[in-house]
Structure 1
Amino acid sequence: PCFTKSTARGTIKEKPGFNAGEDAAALRKAIEGIGTTEKTLIDILTQRSNAQRQLICKAYQDATGRTLCDALEGDTHGHFEDILVALITPHPKFDCQEFIQAIKGAGTNESILIELFASRSNHQIKAMCDAYLAETGRALIHDLKSEVSGDFEKTLLILAEVHLTFSPKFFKTSSSIFPTVQILYEAGEKNWGTEESKFIDILCHRSVPQLRQTLVEYKSLSGKTLQESIEREMSGRLEEILVAIVKCVKSVPAYLAERLYKSMKGASTTESTLTRIIVSRSEVDLQDIKAEYKKLFGTSLYSDIEVRSIK
């Protein structure tokens, strides 16, 4: 799938009258003075675009001989440090670092992999793969193969590779979708036993407009939504990633709003999920995520984050 990137729906815009040198000097003063002035760090880094932050980083290093990242890591701590460092990291490198975090250590964090590959556009996935190669000297796909297995691996690898071969073939008429719908129906609901490979092939290789039409036609044919069929017919990580793809076909912002809600719903907040989604979507579609959050859960994302932070 190729999920559309729209910068118009972000919450962060470029600051008019921007001056990288002035911002770098203010940050230096906030960091090097007696006691870090957190308000200055927050005000500057949350009110500049990522491209502007890169210019601030360069100006800071030119003036001090030290990277802004090193300065922040030496002077701030915990989740506050994490979000400030995320804000000054170029988007592809940030996704790459989240990928590395997901496969690091004894166990793989599959839910992060699912989120990254289901919600990112082909352009973003390619940029993440390029950043990974630059960072590690290895192909992301090579390392991904060593972390996952089975149909879950197959699905992730197709999503990771699709940017190399993808060419949108938009549907012309609803009738052209019917063979696809029939294949899905026969691979699942209609017959005993599920042919997972057909679900994987269709959900990973069709354009979003085709898949949206497929969801409508599938419900009309089977009486169930495709998501319901996947949940009935499959289990485990394969079920999770295919359901995530279906949700992202319908609405990436709604899918990410749900991820944010779940990250705050448990006994403890998963700050890394909050940081990843809010920072990575702040110039893409965070306005839409906020709207979907309110629609789905009846409260504002802002107030829920505020309540969780107080706890």
Structure 2
Amino acid sequence: MSSVWDDLDLLLDSPSSLTVTSTARGTVKEKPGFNPTEDAAALRKAIEGIGTTEKTIIEILTQRSNAQRQLICKAYQEATGRTLSDDLEGDTHGAFEDVLVALLTPPAKFDCQEFIRAIKGAGTNESVLKELFASRSNSQIKALSDAYLAETGRSLIHDLQSEVSGDFETTLVLLAEGKRDESTNVDAAKAKEDAKILYEAGEKKWGTDESKFINILCRRSVPQLRQTLVEYKAVSGKTLQESIEKEMSGRLEDILVAIVKCVKSVPAYFAERLYKSMKGAGTTESTLTRIIVCRSEIDLQDIKAEYKKLFGCSLYSAIESETSGDYRQTLLKICGEDGKA
């Protein structure tokens, strides 16, 4: 599987979802001629009628941008005195209810809720924490932290520190500070130097100096790290990912590999996460819902392209065969068929 992550030639010129703020690569766009009052009335009718008309609900909520959905929620509440998400929760259930509520939630608040869910209860859901912090840009992480403070009155970093420990904690906290360098200038000499530091801290040394890996991978800009990955391969003959997999283990290995993958290609990283969420016995709906909804206005078109490249079938057909009912219809609508994105 790692072979697809080893091709560094195209890396330096390709755009990164960690730095691009446009919505051009999303599958969900703003609807022209949008009228929130009309949409709210149609939803009300669909919910209050005899038997909920799921088709109308799916059609409206998947074909509007998140900002437009917020206006629909406002119009709905003004008209009924109730919140749309409460009414949907009362009328739908399971994964279908979850994906509808996710669609109605502003992105930063949704990330915040996923974070809270990941640290709550017995045991921490580390795979969600890794995904949230490795794949989000500084501004998304800041928005998540602000939403967390507003929701809980506490600092996200503080609560994160009480949940995790060791090098894994150090890495997550550095990412959660959202202080990755954002300059687009690449310093080639520095990339060579960093590559050498990483090589000497890992492959070349008896025992690994994890702090060097953590510091460089969490702080350098994406373009700078891409150059460093190329230099690292030149110095060591291996990719940095291969070295991390060989030198480290457990949670630290997992998160550093996730960072390296996101530096190379956030869409490919998500394509792999989606594949794993559907592979094997049972589908992890929470992962599927989170990624499809969160990336629908950012880079879901690119994720679909990467999915096809990596796994030889379309994301659309994978969702079609692994899910069912109204939940399936909702995801497929957000995903958009290939060629119809």
| Both proteins in one fold, TM over 0.5 | yes
Q: Which amino acid aligns with 1:209?
A: P
Unaligned 5+ segments in structure 2 are: 1-15, 326-341
Match in the other structure for 2:12 = none
- The percentage of counterpart residues that share the same residue type is 79
> Which structure 2 residues correspond to residues 241-256 of structure 1 after superposition, within 5 A?
241-256=255-270
Q: C-alpha distance in 2, partners of 1:167/1:232? A: 27
Q: What is the RMSD computed on CA atoms of the aligned residues? A: 1.4
Structure 2 counterpart of 1:294, from 272, 292, 308? 308
Q: C-alpha distance in 2, partners of 1:176/1:189? A: 19
Secondary structure in structure 2 of the residue aligned to 1:191 = coil
Match in the other structure for 1:122 = 138
| Pairing 1:211–2:225 present | yes
Q: Give the CA deviation at 1:310.
A: 4.3
Q: Is the 2:17–2:267 contact (alpha carbons within 8 Å) kept by the matching residues of 1?
A: no
Q: C-alpha distance in 2, partners of 1:230/1:174? A: 22
Match in the other structure for 2:214 = 200
Q: C-alpha distance in 1, partners of 2:200/2:87? A: 58
Match in the other structure for 1:40 = 56
Q: Which amino acid aligns with 1:100?
A: I
Structure 1 counterpart of 2:173, from 142, 147, 157? 157
Q: C-alpha distance in 2, partners of 1:117/1:51? A: 23
| Pairing 1:259–2:263 present | no
Match in the other structure for 2:65 = 49
Q: Give the CA deviation at 1:169.
A: 4.1
Q: Give the CA deviation at 1:6.
A: 3.0
Q: Is the 1:10–1:283 contact (alpha carbons within 8 Å) kept by the matching residues of 2?
A: yes
Q: Which amino acid aligns with 1:142?
A: H
Question: 240-249 or 138-147: which moved more?
Answer: 138-147
Q: Is the 1:2–1:122 contact (alpha carbons within 8 Å) kept by the matching residues of 2?
A: no
Structure 2 counterpart of 1:18, from 24, 34, 40? 34
Q: Which amino acid aligns with 1:133?
A: L
Q: C-alpha distance in 1, partners of 2:76/2:18? A: 35
Q: Cα distance 1:2–1:45, how it changes in 2: closer, same or farther (>3 A)?
A: closer
Q: Is the 2:47–2:91 contact (alpha carbons within 8 Å) kept by the matching residues of 1?
A: yes
Secondary structure in structure 1 of the residue aligned to 2:178 = helix
Question: TM-score, structure 2 length as denominator?
Answer: 0.89
Match in the other structure for 1:76 = 92
Q: Cα distance 1:309–1:151, how it changes in 2: closer, same or farther (>3 A)?
A: same
Q: Is the 2:66–2:104 contact (alpha carbons within 8 Å) kept by the matching residues of 1?
A: yes
Q: Cα distance 1:172–1:287, how it changes in 2: closer, same or farther (>3 A)?
A: closer
Q: Cα distance 1:280–1:172, how it changes in 2: closer, same or farther (>3 A)?
A: closer
Match in the other structure for 1:3 = 18
Q: Give the CA deviation at 1:175.
A: 2.5
Q: Give the CA deviation at 1:176.
A: 2.9
Match in the other structure for 2:13 = none
Q: C-alpha distance in 2, partners of 1:56/1:159? A: 34
Structure 1 counterpart of 2:44, from 28, 31, 39? 28
Match in the other structure for 2:204 = 190
Q: Give the CA deviation at 1:297.
A: 0.2
Can you list the C-alpha shifts for 1:126-162, whole angstroms capped at 9, x where unaligned?
Answer: 0000001111111111111111000000000000013
Q: C-alpha distance in 1, partners of 2:34/2:114? A: 29
| Pairing 1:142–2:197 present | no
Q: Cα distance 1:82–1:228, how it changes in 2: closer, same or farther (>3 A)?
A: same
Q: Give the CA deviation at 1:171.
A: 4.5
Q: C-alpha distance in 2, partners of 1:169/1:296? A: 30
Q: Give the CA deviation at 1:168.
A: 2.9
Can you list the C-alpha shifts for 1:111-140, whole angstroms capped at 9, x where unaligned?
Answer: 000000000111000000000111111111
Question: 274-283 or 154-163: which moved more?
Answer: 154-163
Secondary structure in structure 2 of the residue aligned to 1:147 = coil
* Count, aligned residues: 309
Q: Give the CA deviation at 1:191.
A: 1.2
Question: TM-score, structure 1 length as denominator?
Answer: 0.97
Secondary structure in structure 2 of the residue aligned to 1:162 = coil
Q: Which amino acid aligns with 1:156?
A: L
Structure 2 counterpart of 1:231, from 245, 250, 265? 245
Q: Which amino acid aligns with 2:145?
A: C
Q: Give the CA deviation at 1:3.
A: 1.4
